[in-house]
A and B are shown apart, each in its own frame.
Chain A
Amino acid sequence: MSKRQLAMVMDLNKCIGCQTCTVACKTQWTNRNGREYMYWNNVETYPGTGYPKNWMELGGGFDAAGDLQPGVIPNLEADYGVPWDYNYESLTTQGLLDNTGAAGFHPHVSPTWGPNWDEDEGAGVFPQDNYFFYLPRICNHCTNPGCLSACPRDAIFKREEDGVVLVDLDRCQGYRYCIAGCPYKKIYFNPKISKSEKCILCFPRVEQGLPPACAQQCVGRIRFVGFLDDEESQVHKLVHKYKVALGLRSDYGTQPNVYYIPPTESPAKFDAEGKIIEGSTRLPIEELEKLFGPAVHDAIKTLKAEMQKRKETGASELMDLLIAYQHSDMFRLDNNYYQQVAREKKRNPLAPVDTRYIAGKFTTKGHGQVLFSGHTTGGHH
């Protein structure tokens, strides 16, 4: 367990599935070098197959006894979907059709599956009782990470200062047990470099006082970021004070640190004549209970009560929080905290490596780590 824990809260009532977060993450981290197929941040339609396909059925996580459960490593084509490319080059010598009249401009593979293949399908019968909502997902930076527990190489570590879970690419040998061990399938195998990679909670941004790119770019302003132990932070208030933000599939036993405000509002069902069935709601509470556990009932009750209170009295701290007026309130990332840690530990705060091995624990010379800033540290001589 880390000394402090960064957390994110996502308000599902406000997610419109625009994928701006997905794109912010992709352009920042995963559009190159073997990461093309990865979505460190994705937004999937729930109910749906999700990304990768049926991730909730692929194992990993812990059972009630605390034992890591075996899991499956998804297949690129069948489960993630091959990120297809087009032969743009062909357009310099031909039109959209080739000489024979067939498609000259085409994807390099015939796609059979991809992320959001089933976007907006949801469940139920249109128009009577169909429903869905969007579920944005990033790495949960768990307190008890399944990926970390599965790694036989000590290549995954949880940072003391903020609980961010990272892969030390120097130690990773591409065994992929982490992928089987993560119940959220939020750690990915980069086949080009033969190592595992994952969401880093944009730690280089966070250390400079900026929120992760997905949170910063969110047009619905659904994401709150801060330290859980910081009582002034909105994440603390949503998770601990009002208890309206809940972990996703906490039953996997990894103690996730991304929390969700469950969707409370859904339209009423229609009867056979297309008339509103008064008092009905399309979103079955069982589905929410499956995702967020039994605490979802109380969370929804609190949310509704506060909504009512706001209507009646005009005042509700919780509603004010969820309106998300100011980025400066939504994101509480004290820049000085990281500078202080760096000074105390006498190291570069940007070091994306596991400091336990930085001194070359088992090598005679040690292998210095090349850091972002370009200088080398570590190695005992």
Chain B
Amino acid sequence: MKKLLTTILSLGVAASAALAADLSLTATKVSDQLDAINPDSAVWSKAKFATVVLYPQTAIEFNDKEANEANKDPKGKKAQVAAVHNGKEIALLVKWADGTKNVQGIKCTDTYSDGFAIQFAGTTKKSQPLPYVGMGSVGRPVVVHLQKATDKVYEPNGNKDVSTQINRQQTGFFGKELAEYDAKVASLANTDFERVFVGEGFRSLTEIKDKSVKSNAAMKYDNKGWIGTLARPLKDDYMNGAGTVAATIAVWDGAKHGRNGLKLLSSWIAINLEGQKANAAVVAEATEAPKGDAAKGKAAVEANGCAGCHQIDKSMPAGYMAPSLVNVGGYSTAAYLRESLIKPSAVVVPGFNRNAHSNTPWYNLEKGKRVSTMTDYSFLDKATIEDIVAYLKTLKAEVE
């Protein structure tokens, strides 16, 4: 009976969430092993697909002239997302359109790979508020799984493989011996560019190399689009997934010089694990539709001088003082926007090193903590805050 009730409850949450677009989805319970999952695995036929919109991440403009030119007018993209779990592991599938397959060459200096990443909220005492969508924030860690379509990568492996670093022409080998040398070098290369990071804000992102996370990501180009899959344990040192797992999805387009922040990014998605009690609060945070009046919010944004530091629409220059808000509504939750207004230092969006724009510091260090230079708007009345949140949620790029 108790079990039945739980199921009904979780279904109820899922149903109400479905009304707020696909920011909540259900991971189908399966009995299959998931650790070897790939885009062709049969298990995906059991999964329910949802549509998630990915928006261009434009908080910060990077200093690559050609990349900025290629991303002048970025558009959002729709991705198909499915999830399954077996009680121990969770697996996600992301399918998105990409007209060109880009694989970073090992003999080029200016080519970039297509890729995708799935970010999970890390373990914290309280599961809310969710971490900042741009790779976490101080005290609210995230785990990021990254898969890129790359050719061979020869990591400096620290194993003193110095003899195989020599240029083949300098080995003194010919014929069969040279072929053997080439084969040995190739065997040391890493052909799967799969990485796992933990971070509290994107500059802090640190690769997990101690094998404390077991995961498996794969990607496949087919029919003018990519399918990416990832399997990882629901629980490990970095994550404690139960009931509802919060995740975001990012994709990179190599043709547009995509890497790092130059990507398309979803807002937080609540993934309810079928058969477990959903965390209604997390679902609510991910799916919350703002209740304020966006038109009033726009007026309030103008009246409060937000544009003094933030780029609000494209007609304004981007500036260096504060993150651009042009697409902020696409990848931010209402809760994050609200928090940023009344507690500006809760998340200080990290960008370039601060000395990249030393005259416009967007934070100061006080006792080792980053204190935002943004005005604290907690003096505004609640209704105005809600109106501003509603307006900011409307700021997003067109979707392809």
Interface, chain A (partner B; CB < 8 A): 31-34, 36-37, 59-60, 65-76, 80, 82, 85-86, 88-89, 92, 144, 148-154, 169-171, 173-177, 179-181, 188-189, 191-195, 357, 360-367, 370, 374, 379
Contact = CB atoms under 8 A, between A and B. Distances in A.
B63 interface: yes
Contacts of A152: 60, 62, 202-203, 260-261, 350-352
B206 interface: yes
Interface stretch (B11-19, B167-175, B289-297, B302-310): B167-175
Given A33-B154, A149-B356, A363-B206, 13 more contacts: A34-B154, A67-B320, A70-B63, A75-B110, A85-B169, A170-B209, A171-B207, A176-B110, A176-B259, A188-B109, A362-B141, A364-B238, A367-B208
Interface residues of B, number: 61
A153 B202 CA distance: 7
A191 B206 contact: no
Main secondary structure of the interface of B (DSSP, over half): loop
B167 A191 contact: no
Contacts of B315: none
Interface stretch (B86-94, B155-163, B333-341, B367-375): B155-163
B109 A36 contact: no
Interface of A is mostly: loop
Contact of B357 (A66, A153, A154, A374): A66
A70 B106 CA distance: 25
B271 interface: no
29 contacts: A32-B167, A66-B357, A66-B359, A67-B356, A67-B360, A73-B66, A73-B110, A75-B110, A92-B175, A150-B62, A152-B60, A152-B261, A153-B205, A170-B207, A171-B207, A173-B260, A175-B260, A176-B109, A179-B109, A180-B63, A188-B109, A189-B110, A192-B153, A193-B155, A194-B104, A360-B206, A361-B206, A362-B199, A363-B206
B63 A191 contact: no
A92 B174 contact: yes
Interface string B167-199: 101100011001000000000000001000011
Interface in B361-389: none
A177 B238 contact: no
A149 B62 contact: no
B352 A76 contact: no
B153 A194 contact: yes
Contacts of A68: 63, 352, 356-357
B166 interface: yes
Contact of B63 (A174, A181, A357): A181
Nearest to A366: B210
- Give the 10 A-B CB pairs with smallest separation, nearest first: A370-B158, A33-B165, A149-B356, A68-B356, A367-B209, A362-B206, A70-B65, A364-B237, A76-B109, A175-B260
B150 interface: yes
A55 to B, nearest CB: 14
Instruction: With a 10 A CB-CB cut-off, give which of A36, A69, A152 has the most chain B CB atoms.
Output: A152
A365 B205 contact: no
A76 B108 contact: yes
Interface in B3-59: none
Interface of B: 60, 62-66, 68, 104-110, 141, 150, 153-156, 158-160, 165-167, 169-170, 174-175, 178, 193, 198-200, 202-210, 212, 237-238, 259-261, 320, 350-353, 355-360
Contacts of B206: 171, 357, 360-363
Given A73-B109, A171-B206, A65 B64 contact: no
B68 A70 contact: yes
B175 A154 contact: no
A176 B207 contact: no
Nearest to B197: A362
A189 B63 CA distance: 16
A80 B357 CA distance: 29
B306 to A, nearest CB: 21
A191 B108 contact: yes
Contact of B175 (A73, A89, A171, A379): A89
A60 B63 contact: yes
A374 B212 contact: no
Nearest to B189: A192
B184 to A, nearest CB: 14
Nearest to A379: B210
Contacts of B350: 152
Contact of A365 (B159, B203, B210): B210
Contacts of B154: 33-34, 192-193
Given A67-B320, A67-B357, A181-B63, A365 B212 contact: yes
B106 A191 contact: yes
Contacts of A82: 107
